[in-house]
C-alpha cells in the first residue's frame, strides 16, 4: 500500500499521471493501476480526470488520503534514518546556513565546542541574510538554517534556541538615554531588505512612533558597527555585539523607552525527517548556544 500512496502523492503534486510516472520511473498504466487500487480500497473516488481538458481535480476524500500519505511518508523516512543510525556515531557532512548576526558573531564560538564533541563531523557553513538562507534551505542546498526573527512559511519546521535583545547604539559621546521624540531626527545605519535585523529595526521604529527615517544601508553587522563608530549615525544592533564594541570603547549603548527582542530559530524543511546530525546540532544549540 505504501507504493500506491507514494504514487498518489506524486500524481497530486505533479498534477499529471505522465509526470508522476516519469518521476517514479514506472509506466503510466502502472500509475493508473495504483490509483485504482487505492480507490477500490477506500471505496471512494480520489481523483477526477477531465478527458477533454486533460485536467485533474482532487476530491475531498483524495485530500484526506493525500494528507495522511504525506505524514506516513515522513514517518517512514524518519524510521529509516533512525534504524540505520542506531548505534552509529555522529559523523558525515552537515551543511549549516546562518544569517549574518548568528554566523559572524555567535556561531564560531559555539562550533568550537560542538566540534570537540563530534570531531568526525564535516561541517560547511554558509553565511548570508535571512531571506537567502531560507531560499537555500527550500532548495535543499543546506541541511539546516539558523536565522533571527520570525518566519511564517509553512514549508519550514522551526525551533527556538536563543532570545536576542537588540539595543540602540551611537558614536562615543552620545547621550546615555533617549526618549521616543529623540529618535525622530536621527540618521540611521541599518541593514538591507531581507535581513532579520532590518525587520526588527522597522518594528522598533513603528513601536517608537517614528514615521520616517533617514538611512544609510550596509549589508553586514560589522559595517553597521563601524559606521556608528565613525560617527555616521545610530543603529539597532544585537546586544551581544554591542557589548563587545562598548567594552572596546568603540560605541555607546543608549537606553530607550522601547525594547526589542527576537528569537533565534533553527529551521528545517517541514516535509523532511530530521537527521541524526541535525538533531545533535539542535540539542546542542538549546543546551549551550551562548556561554
Q: What CATH number corresponds to the domain at position 132?
A: 3.40.190.10
Q: How far apart, in whole angstroms, are the C-alpha atoms of residue 224 and residue 217? A: 8
Q: How far apart, in whole angstroms, are the C-alpha atoms of residue 200 and residue 236? A: 8
Task: Find the distance separating the first CA and the last CA of the chain, reported in whole Å.
Answer: 50
Q: What is the pLDDT of residue 149?
A: 72
Q: What is the pLDDT of residue 97?
A: 97
C-alpha cell at 93: 557532512
- Same domain for 268 and 127, yes or no, is yes
- Measured over the CA atoms of residue 226, residue 229, residue 234 and residue 236, the dihedral's sign is positive
pLDDT at 168 over 60: yes
Contact yes or no for 172/252 (Cβ under 8 A): yes
Number of independent structural domains in the chain = 3
pLDDT at 151 over 80: no
Contact yes or no for 70/9 (Cβ under 8 A): yes
- The pLDDT tens digits of the residues spanning 203-238 come to 899 888 888 889 999 988 899 999 999 999 999 999
Average pLDDT of the segment spanning 129-151: 90
- Same domain for 191 and 248, yes or no, is yes
Q: What is the pLDDT of residue 54?
A: 67
pLDDT at 197 over 90: no
When comparing pLDDT for 85 and 228, which is higher?
A: 228
Q: Where are the alpha helices (DSSP H) in the chain?
A: 2-14, 17-24, 28-42, 60-84, 100-101, 107-117, 130-138, 180-183, 196-208, 221-229, 239-247, 276-288
Per-residue pLDDT band at 88 (split at 50, 70, 90) = low
Containing structural domain, residue 171: 164-260
- Same domain for 74 and 155, yes or no, is no
- Same domain for 97 and 227, yes or no, is no
- The pLDDT tens digits of the residues spanning 16-65 come to 888 888 988 899 889 889 999 988 999 999 998 876 656 788 899 989 99
Q: Between the ranges 115-124, 227-236, 278-287, where is the mean pLDDT highest? A: 227-236
- Same domain for 159 and 172, yes or no, is no
Amino acid at each position: 500500500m505504501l507504493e500506491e500512496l507514494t504514487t498518489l502523492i506524486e500524481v497530486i503534486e505533479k498534477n499529471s499521471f505522465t509526470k508522476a510516472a516519469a518521476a517514479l520511473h514506472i509506466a503510466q498504466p502502472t500509475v493508473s493501476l495504483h490509483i485504482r487500487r487505492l480507490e477500490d480500497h477506500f471505496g471512494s473516488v480520489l481523483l477526477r480526470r477531465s478527458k477533454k481538458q486533460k485536467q485533474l481535480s482532487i476530491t475531498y476524500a483524495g485530500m484526506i488520503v493525500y494528507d495522511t500519505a504525506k505524514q506516513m511518508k515522513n514517518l517512514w523516512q524518519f524510521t529509516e534514518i533512525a534504524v540505520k543510525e542506531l548505534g552509529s556515531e555522529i559523523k558525515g557532512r552537515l551543511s549549516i546556513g546562518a544569517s549574518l548576526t548568528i554566523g559572524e558573531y555567535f556561531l564560531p564560538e559555539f562550533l568550537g565546542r560542538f566540534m570537540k564533541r563530534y570531531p568526525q563531523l564535516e561541517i560547511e557553513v554558509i553565511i548570508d541574510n535571512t531571506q537567502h538562507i531560507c531560499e537555500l534551505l527550500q532548495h535543499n542546498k543546506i541541511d539546516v538554517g539558523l536565522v533571527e526573527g520570525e518566519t511564517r512559511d509553512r514549508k519550514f519546521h522551526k525551533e527556538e534556541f536563543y532570545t536576542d535583545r537588540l539595543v540602540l547604539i551611537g558614536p562615543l559621546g552620545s547621550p546615555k538615554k533617549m526618549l521616543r521624540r529623540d529618535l525622530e531626527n536621527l540618521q540611521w545605519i541599518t541593514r538591507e531588505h531581507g535581513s532579520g535585523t532590518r525587520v526588527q529595526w522597522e518594528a522598533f521604529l513603528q513601536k517608537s512612533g517614528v514615521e520616517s527615517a533617514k538611512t544609510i544601508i550596509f549589508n553586514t553587522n560589522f559595517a553597521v558597527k563601524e559606521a556608528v563608530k565613525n560617527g555616521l549615525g545610530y543603529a539597532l544592533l544585537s546586544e551581544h555585539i554591542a557589548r563587545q564594541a562598548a567594552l572596546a570603547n568603540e560605541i555607546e549603548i543608549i537606553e530607550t523607552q522601547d525594547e526589542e527582542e527576537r528569537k533565534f530559530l533553527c529551521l528545517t524543511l517541514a516535509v523532511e525527517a530530521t537527521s541524526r546530525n541535525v538533531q545533535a546540532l539542535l540539542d546542542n544549540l538549546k543546551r549551550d548556544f551562548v556561554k
